[in-house]
Amino acid sequence: MNFIEELRWRGMLQDIMPGTEEELNKGMASGYIGFDPTADSLHVGHLTQIMTLIHFQRAGHKPFALVGGATGMVGDPSGKSAERNLLSEDILKHNVACIENQLKKFLDFDCGANSAEMVNNFDWFKNFNFLDFIRDVGKHITVNYMMAKDSVKKRLEGETGMSFTEFSYQLVQGYDFYWLWKNKGCMVQMGGSDQWGNIVTGTELIRRKEGGSAFAITTQLIKKADGTKFGKTEGGAVWLDAKRTSPYKFYQFWLNTSDSDAKNWIRIFSLKSKEEIDAIEKEHDAAPHQRALQKALAQEITIRTHSEEALQKALNTSEFLFSTGPVDFLEQLTDEEILEVFEGVQHFTISKEQLSNGINVTDLLAEHTKVFPSKGEARKMIQGGGVSVNRQKVSDPAEMINADKLVKGKFTIVQKGKKNYFLLIAE
């Protein structure tokens, strides 16, 4: 497998430094990508770079994942309009540990010579004092060179300007590349296209400081067909941590992509071959309403990020909400997961004590909750067969609902008509 050709046909390749492809064709090479620990989880915006490292390893090369325990204290200005808040050392340590655990789900850390390796730039910066840094690193890169970078120009043209802290970021990242080149034999740094300036600063530092050669590759920044930012939803970022974004929501994010986005994204975020993807596209084009592309993408990336079990839970949740699936599977979920399933559904709190004695279903839905505005309307809908409790039709307006109807001893799902759900929570 040729790594560069793989990126090309998948539509991922943006920039490549002359000589890079030839260097990679010589045999196993080492390369790295940096991940910024500004949160305790990566999000889908990081998946392009994770996939780049996966392809790099599959092509027989050795991938390094750098977690920026030191650079996280500075803040990368690339693509930013304002300086971000700096995090404490304790928070950064926590974030770094969480990100390391996530990356181990995607890369093989035990496969011989090209096993993936995790590094943290705090390890080589913690004892590097300021005077040594400006003497050993700063003297090799001119201010004119740094000012010419687009990330710097854009910030200097803005209203807020740029602090020296952020201005120095490209030197710090450049030194990362130098350290990994010298100590780990890393010949290539990869990243998103907004990182080109920082990456080539590293290659320039290696050239000026040691007379060495190093190389750079960037991938295209992913955008949606409608121009909105990839990875953002109304609820915010789509995280890789199941506690931040449930596997169900994660699955739905991919399932709900447009046809045009799905055709691009299945190349980027799937490990399927070109032949496999072409076959899925033909199947999709023959029956677009079946959403073959979206389903294939959503299933593969949910399994890779979470697990097959998590995918099955997501599929069961989808079946429950969009068809007539039984409530039994809710027993397998935590209380938090059940609340996530019914996020956006109106919730009502009912008394567990009253429910233990039984409540007339009409009173329950019109007095104890506001599923219906009046008892008359509740009776009429019940008699017409338009009300279900835990997916069981209720036909008698006088039927008693008791604690036996609680799922996990806490929840009752009421359905009014086909699409109107209500969640009753007993406390």
CATH number at residue 413: 3.10.290.10
Residues 49 and 193 in one domain: yes
Tokens of 148: 């010419």
Which tens digits make up the pLDDT trace of 295-337? 999 999 999 999 999 998 888 878 777 776 677 778 888 888 8
CATH number at residue 153: 3.40.50.620
Which of 14, 15, 58, 80 does the annotation list as catalytic? 80
Question: Has 154 been annotated as catalytic?
Answer: no
Residue recorded with tokens 């040691």: 210
365 is a domain residue: yes
Residues 237 and 186 in one domain: no
Range with the poorest average pLDDT among 53-62, 312-321, 390-399, 402-411: 312-321
Residues 386 and 256 in one domain: no
Q: What are phi and psi of 179, to 5 degrees?
A: -65, -45
Pick left, alpha or beta for residue 20 (phi over 0 → left; psi -120 to 50 → alpha; otherwise beta). alpha
Which of 102, 173, 218, 369 does the annotation list as catalytic? 173
Maximum C-alpha span of the chain: 87
Mean residue pLDDT of the chain comes to 89
Question: Has 232 been annotated as catalytic?
Answer: yes
Tokens of 34: 């940096």
239, 244, 248, 251 alpha-carbon torsion, rounded to 10°: 0
Predicted pLDDT of residue 313:
84
332 is a domain residue: no
Residues 147 and 79 in one domain: yes
Check: CB of residue 222 under 8 Å from CB of residue 230.
yes
193 is a domain residue: yes
Question: Is the predicted pLDDT of residue 79 greater than 60, yes or no?
Answer: no
Question: Has 150 been annotated as catalytic?
Answer: no
Highest averaged pLDDT of the listed ranges 197-211, 239-253, 343-357:
197-211
Check: CB of residue 400 under 8 Å from CB of residue 359.
yes
Residues 370 and 261 in one domain: no
Residues 215 and 246 in one domain: no
Give long-range contacts, CB 8 A cutoff, 24+ apart: 346-351: 346/421, 346/422, 346/423, 347/422, 347/423, 347/424, 347/425, 348/422, 348/423, 348/424, 348/425, 349/424, 349/425, 349/426, 349/427, 350/412, 350/424, 350/425, 350/426, 350/427, 351/426, 351/427
Which of 10, 36, 40, 46 does the annotation list as catalytic? 46
Question: Is the predicted pLDDT of residue 85 greater than 70, yes or no?
Answer: no
Residue 232 in marked binding region: yes
Of 219, 252, 267, the last residue of a domain is 219
Predicted pLDDT of residue 403:
86
Q: Is 154 exposed, middle or buried (0-12, 13-18, 19+ CB in 10 A)?
A: middle
Which of 220, 233, 346, 354 does the annotation list as catalytic? 233
336 is a domain residue: no
Predicted pLDDT of residue 325:
66
Question: Is the predicted pLDDT of residue 82 greater than 60, yes or no?
Answer: no
Residue count (the chain): 427
Question: Has 380 been annotated as catalytic?
Answer: no
Write down the H helix ranges in 215-291.
247-255, 259-269, 274-286
Using pLDDT thresholds of 50, 70 and 90, give the confidence band for residue 177. very high
Residues 183 and 242 in one domain: no
Predicted pLDDT of residue 83:
47
Predicted pLDDT of residue 74:
63
226 is a domain residue: no
Residue 169 in marked binding region: yes
Gyration radius of the chain over CA positions? 27
Which of 43, 208, 224, 375 does the annotation list as catalytic? 43
280 is a domain residue: yes
Which parts of 50-116 are beta strand (E)?
62-67
Predicted pLDDT of residue 78:
55
Tokens of 389: 């409790």
329 is a domain residue: no
Residues 49 and 133 in one domain: yes
Which of 180, 172, 170, 173 shows the shortest CA–CA distance to 210? 180
206 is a domain residue: yes
Which of 232, 291, 352, 375 does the annotation list as catalytic? 232
Which of 188, 169, 14 shows the shortest CA–CA distance to 80? 169
Question: Is the predicted pLDDT of residue 3 greater than 90, yes or no?
Answer: yes
Sheet holding 392-393, edge to edge: 346-350, 420-426, 411-416, 387-389, 392-393
Residues 252 and 111 in one domain: no
Counted domains in the chain: 3
Predicted pLDDT of residue 152:
82
Predicted pLDDT of residue 175:
95
Question: Has 267 been annotated as catalytic?
Answer: no
Question: Has 194 been annotated as catalytic?
Answer: yes
CATH number at residue 279: 1.10.240.10
Predicted pLDDT of residue 203:
96
Range with the poorest average pLDDT among 35-49, 62-76, 120-134, 280-294: 62-76
- For residues 324 and 18, the model is more confident at 18
User: What range does the domain containing 375 cover?
Assistant: 346-426
Predicted pLDDT of residue 232:
67
Average pLDDT over residues 354-363: 87
Residues 59 and 127 in one domain: yes
Predicted pLDDT of residue 18:
96
Average pLDDT over residues 128-152: 88
